[in-house]
Amino acid sequence: MMDKVQKLIKQRNEKTVFHCLGITLEKLDPDETIVSLTIDDRHRQHVGLVHGGIYVPMAESVASLAGACTLG
């Protein structure tokens, strides 16, 4: 089941916020969901710090994916 879900996610990735922001799905299973992000200039505020809003789509997406895995 997880293989089908991961394949679907890969197919749709280019049309998602993950693609735009460079977020990568590292692990997806009912017990653990992991994403990663390499910070670059598109993630920074004008003073060079990472914009706090970058973490919101990551957290929401991980929660949604984990919830979907839990529901099967």
Digit-coded pLDDT (tens) for 1-60: 567 777 888 888 888 888 889 998 888 887 888 999 999 999 999 999 999 999 998 999
> What's the total number of domains in the chain?
1
State residue 72's pLDDT score.
63
CA 14, 34, 66, 72 dihedral sign is: positive
pLDDT of residue 66: 85
pLDDT of residue 41: 93
What's the helix, strand, coil split of the chain in %, to 5? 60, 20, 20
- What CA–CA distance (Å, rounded) separates 27 from 44? 26
* Domain ranges, residue 12: 2-71
CATH number at residue 16: 3.10.129.10
Q: 36 is written with which tokens?
A: 């990663």
pLDDT at site 48: 94
